[in-house]
Structures are given as C-alpha cells and as structure tokens.
Amino acid sequence: MLPGRMMDFPLTLTHFLERARTYYPRSEIVSRNPDKSMHRYTYADFVRRTCQLMNALKRLGVKPGDRVATLSWNHFRHLEAYFGIPSMGAVVHTLNLRLHPNDLGYIARHAEDTVVLVDRSLWPLFEKFAASVPSLKHVIVIPDAGPAPEGTLDYEALLAAESPEFELPKLDEDSAAMLCYTSGTTGNPKGVLFSHRSIVLHTLVCCMRDLTGIGEADSVLPVVPMFHAAAWGLPFDAILTGARVVFPGPHLDPPSLLDLMAEEKVTIAGGVPTIWLGILALLDQDPKKWDLSAMRTMLIGGSAAPPSLIDGFRQRHGLEVTHAWGMTELNPVGTMAKVKQELRHADAATQLGAQASQGFALPFVETRVVSESGQKLPWDGATMGELEVRGPWVASSYFSNEGQDRFTSDGWFKTGDVVTMDSDGYVRICDRSKDVIKSGGEWISSVALENALMSHPAVLEAAVFAGRHPRWDERPLAAVVLKPGQTATKEELAAHLSKQFAKFWLPDDYLFVPQVPRTSTGKFLKTKLREDYGDHLMKNPASAAG
Ligand code: AMP
C-alpha cells in the first residue's frame, strides 16, 4: 500500500464550536421558555457560555470520559451542554424525561453519571430517582422555572463565575461524545455511545442537498426531543452550517408548534408522526390561520409516517414531508425517503409509494435483508426479512457489552425491523420483529394495515397487533381511535381495507379505543395492547376467523 499524504486531522465537535464563533457569530438561537416568553441570543453568546460551562465543569472535577447527564427539554442551555460536555472530552448523557423514575434511576446508575444538569421545571421528576444514583457528585439546576433548590448548584451562577475563554483540547475522534439509551420496550434499556467521529460524519452526510439539505439559510426546529437519539442530529446539523435554531421548550402541543413555526419562519422541522398527525388535524380545521410559507420540508421519523399524512400535507396545505428511518444505534438516521429523479415522471401513487417508504440508505450506511436462518434475501419488494446495517455511525457494541446477539460475526447490526427492500433499494418497514403477526405461518405486516386504516377519513390513529387465535396461532386485531365527532363501523373499516389486502390479512376485530398506548418516545406500545387485548379472540370466539 502507498499511504496517502494528508493530515491526520481529527473529526471532533470542537471544530463546530470554532466555526460557530469564527464564521457565524451573528446567527441566532431562539428558545421558548416554560412561561412561553422567548429567549434569543447569538452563536457568539452560545460559544462564550459553552466555554463558561466547560470551565465550570472542569472546576467541579469533570474529567475526560466522565458521564455528565442532562434532564432537559429542548432549549439553548441544553444545546450548551450538547457541545460543552463533549468538547472537554467528557460524555453528554441525555436522560429521557418521559421514562418512569425507576427506569431513569436504572439508566443513570448504569451510566455512572457523576454530574447532572436538570431543568428546574423537571425537579419533581428528578427528586423521584436522585437518591438511587450513588455516582452523582453534583446536581446543577437550570433555572427555567424558578431558582435552584437548596443544596444544588445554580447553572447561571456557575457560568457567571467563569471565564468565557476555554482552550479546546485536541481530542481523539474515536473518543465517546454522547451516550443515549434505547427506549427498551422489552428488557432493560441499552446504552449507545456515539463517538465524535460518528457524529461528525452523520452531520456531514445528513446536511447533503439530497437529504435534509440544512444550510445557513434555514431555521431549524427540532420538535424531536434532544433527550431521544440526539434529536436526530438536528442541533449538530444546524450549528455546523450556521443555521438559525428554534427550540420549542416544553410546548409540544399542535397550536404552540404551529404558532412557533409561523412566527419564527421555520424552514425545516423534525418530529414523530403523532406530532404531525395533530398538526395536520388542526391545519385541516383552520387552514388559513398559520402562514407556513417558509417551510421547506417537515422531517418525520421514529415510527412509520402514514401515506395519508404525507399526502394530506401536500394536497391540502402544499407542505412537503421527508420520511426517514433511524435508530438510537445509528446516531440515529439510516435511510431517508427521497424520490429519485427517475421516479419524478411516474404516476402520483408510485411517487407517494416512494415518499412513504422508509427510503434508501444514506451514503456510508449499508443494508441487507436476511431470513430467520440468516440467509440473504432478494430485493424484490415482497420478501420480508430482518434489516441489517453497517457503517461508520452504526454501533459496534452496546455500552457495558449487553445485547451482543444483535451484532453478527461478519460485522453487521441486526436492527430487529422486519422489512421488504425493492430493486431500487427503498426499504419498507413491515414491523418490529417482535410485533410481526404470524397467522398460520404467514407474516402479516401491521404497519401496512395501520397505514391503510389511517387513510380512512374517520380514523385518527390505528395500531394493529397480534391477538392469540385457537387455530391460526395469531390473527391481526386493530385498535382504532376515531377523529372527534366522526363515526365508522367495523364493517366499513373492513370494506376499506379489503380494497387493498387479501382476505386473510384483514383484522379479525376492530376495537374502538380513546387512545393508543405509547412508549416514552411516541411509538405505539404494542406490548401493552397485547397485554390488554391479546386474548380478545379467545374470549370472543364469534369474532375470530374460522
Ligand atoms: P429508537 O431507537 O427509539 O429511535 O427506535 C428505533 C426504531 O423505531 C426502529 O428500529 C424502528 O422500529 C422504528 N422506526 C424509526 N423510524 C421509523 C420509520 N420511519 N418508520 C417505521 N419505523 C421507524
């Protein structure tokens, strides 16, 4: 081999800070406070305060590799932690405030967090698990809703005592920068340790024109929480490119988000389908109230975006959606549903089919589909198998080495998602492997049925899950939430589905429920549905397919 003669320059987050202060000192970061007032400052202020935070943490004894946790909404101080903690060589560990205090205690103990930054508004939650984390040496309170409680350190007072200069260290690009735990609907949550290098490469690729295309002209609104999968990397994409950042704080209800998008002229926003379903319903009620003409695209991911949602935004409101798939284990984006040029001349249904798929792999992410016995399956758009991935921002193991069975001996990560892949590489998620419905040995995709149900005009949300069946082992059952004031009968829903699916795919019964149970990250909680209604067909044999 003839070695190349280029510099060995590390890919680290410190460079983001240098760039922000040198080239974009006047770019703006806007946050909505809990009392709905707005906080505004510039990148120059952001970098200055981030340096003060690093000095403060150093004074408290934080060393390279130490885990410093955050329990925070999306706002400017959380952003300071996102950059300050890793830029001094420590690891920012985002705690998911929607988890049960017992789980939070488990995760903070497992991570051995030594310092935690807590929003004052989340203090009642923190109090419930703080005592169960013996590694915690310092508690820093972000005064977003009143002063710090006694015995804790006040974030603002700490920063005020420090110099705004900090000599950024030369870090190893492979060193850990961020620790995120999976949502763990089964078993204990597992830690994923992003490196500086994985975050930098993920950012560079995500900002490509054919992907998010984030640039200086954008106003980026991460609705997706910073405590879940690094808010899909949006804060990093924004800061690297000098974009304007808009944080919603704790106000994630549709009217507040629509107000924010209109008032701050947001050009790109990212959130899970539930958020967008709520927003679409409100826009449908009052299409003229909000001026969203600045919006370039709305990123949807985290669970499947129904085609009716994507189409509804486009047809009724002229708004574009970009559907993406990812996982905490992928830093987190893996595929994005861009319509390839050659499909631009296809009919509307084909284009919507591509847009509503989970898309094809990002550069440097490689994908394959394998059978239960580990055979590689064809990319024919029909054969279902487990998606496996590899790439520079895919985890190579979990923190503390649990879950080794998710990593294959030939270097791939088993996603646990059951998919089909077509000849163009578009991935379509059918299910999580543990949610797939096995009826008489045939696999039925709950996601396909859900998408079709959600295209019915009376249906707000639908989750399809496996019910036990005396003859077929499992049969699909649908939990359906109707739109306020709307009605639909089981027979109507069955007739709606039968236009698209073979008879054996149709749910045996439809359960009308006030809401679908959700995980801490907004996904349908099918374990709960199976727990509550799994025996429905055993108890009501009249509903069960013969
Ligand atoms: P998390 O690590 O909490 O982000 O969860 C990752 C999982 O969310 C994936 O393995 C998928 O099952 C699911 N997921 C993420 N994005 C999508 C999407 N666009 N469509 C369907 N499922 C998705």
- Span 327-355, pLDDT tens digits: 999 999 999 999 999 998 999 999 999 99
CA quadruple 347, 351, 357, 358: dihedral, nearest 10: 160
Residue located nearest, by CA, to atom 6 of ligand 1: 327
Is 90 exceeded by the pLDDT of residue 171?
yes
Is 80 exceeded by the pLDDT of residue 185?
no
- Closest atom of ligand 1 to 328 CA is 2
Q: What is the separation, in whole angstroms, between the first and last Cα of the chain?
A: 67
185 lines ligand 1 (CB under 6 A): no
Residue located nearest, by CA, to atom 9 of ligand 1: 327
**Taking the domain 435-543, which CATH number applies?**
3.30.300.30
270 lines ligand 1 (CB under 6 A): no
431 lines ligand 1 (CB under 6 A): no
326 lines ligand 1 (CB under 6 A): yes
Residues in a beta bridge with 479:
463, 511
228 CA distance to ligand 1 middle (Å) = 12
Burial of 388 (0-12, 13-18, 19+ CB in 10 A): buried
538 CA distance to ligand 1 middle (Å) = 31
Is 80 exceeded by the pLDDT of residue 12?
yes
For a ligand 1 pocket test, name from 298, 414, 417, 418 the mutation site with the most ligand atoms within 8 angstroms of its C-beta.
417
For a ligand 1 pocket test, name from 99, 232, 303, 431 the mutation site with the most ligand atoms within 8 angstroms of its C-beta.
303
388 lines ligand 1 (CB under 6 A): no
Q: Where are the alpha helices (H) located in 14-75, listed in sequence order?
A: 14-23, 43-59
What pLDDT is attached to residue 471? 87
Show the CA angle centred on residue 209, arms to residues 204 and 215, nearest 5°: 70
Model pTM score: 0.93
What pLDDT is attached to residue 541? 84
Joined together, the tokens standing for residue 229 give 């999968």
Residue located nearest, by CA, to atom 8 of ligand 1: 302
d(CA 254, CA 234): 20
Is 70 exceeded by the pLDDT of residue 508?
yes
Mean pLDDT of 442-454: 92
d(CA 41, CA 13): 21
d(CA 23, CA 46): 13
135 CA distance to ligand 1 middle (Å) = 32
443 is catalytic: yes
What pLDDT is attached to residue 41? 98
Percent of the residues in the chain that have a pLDDT greater than 70, as a whole number:
99
Give pLDDT tens digits for 64-91: 999 999 999 999 999 999 999 999 999 9
- 487-494 own/partner pairs: CB under 8 Å, 24+ apart: 487/458, 488/456, 488/458, 488/459, 492/456, 493/453, 493/456, 493/459
322 CA distance to ligand 1 middle (Å) = 15
Is 90 exceeded by the pLDDT of residue 441?
no
Is residue 67 a contact partner of residue 31, using CB atoms and an 8 Å limit? no
Joined together, the tokens standing for residue 400 give 């503390």
Tell me the pLDDT band of 436, cut-offs 50, 70 and 90.
Answer: confident
Mean pLDDT, the chain, integer:
95
User: Which residue in the block uniquely carries the two structure tokens 């990212």?
Assistant: 270
Is 90 exceeded by the pLDDT of residue 202?
yes
d(CA 83, CA 20): 11
442 is catalytic: no
Secondary structure E strands in 36-190:
38-42, 67-71, 91-94, 115-119, 138-142, 153-154, 176-181
Is residue 475 a contact partner of residue 508, using CB atoms and an 8 Å limit? yes
User: Which residue in the block uniquely carries the two structure tokens 């690094």?
Assistant: 230
359 lines ligand 1 (CB under 6 A): no
Q: Which of 14, 70, 94, 182 is the catalytic position?
A: 182
Is 70 exceeded by the pLDDT of residue 33?
yes
Give pLDDT tens digits for 381-433: 999 999 999 999 999 999 988 899 999 999 999 999 999 999 999 999 998 88
329 is catalytic: yes
Ordered by start, the domain boundaries in the chain are 8-195, 435-543
Is 70 exceeded by the pLDDT of residue 186?
no
Superfamily of domain 8-195: ANL, N-terminal domain (3.40.50.12780)
412 is catalytic: no
- Closest atom of ligand 1 to 301 CA is 19
Give pLDDT tens digits for 456-482: 999 999 999 999 998 888 999 999 999
Tell me the pLDDT band of 442, cut-offs 50, 70 and 90.
Answer: confident
Q: Where are the alpha helices (H) located in 151-244, listed in sequence order?
A: 155-160, 196-206, 234-241
User: Which residue in the block uniquely carries the two structure tokens 């488990």?
Assistant: 106
For the ranges 17-26, 58-67, 347-356, 427-436, the lowest mean pLDDT is seen at 427-436
Tell me the pLDDT band of 36, cut-offs 50, 70 and 90.
Answer: very high
- Closest atom of ligand 1 to 323 CA is 19
Percent of the residues in the chain that have a pLDDT greater than 90, as a whole number:
90
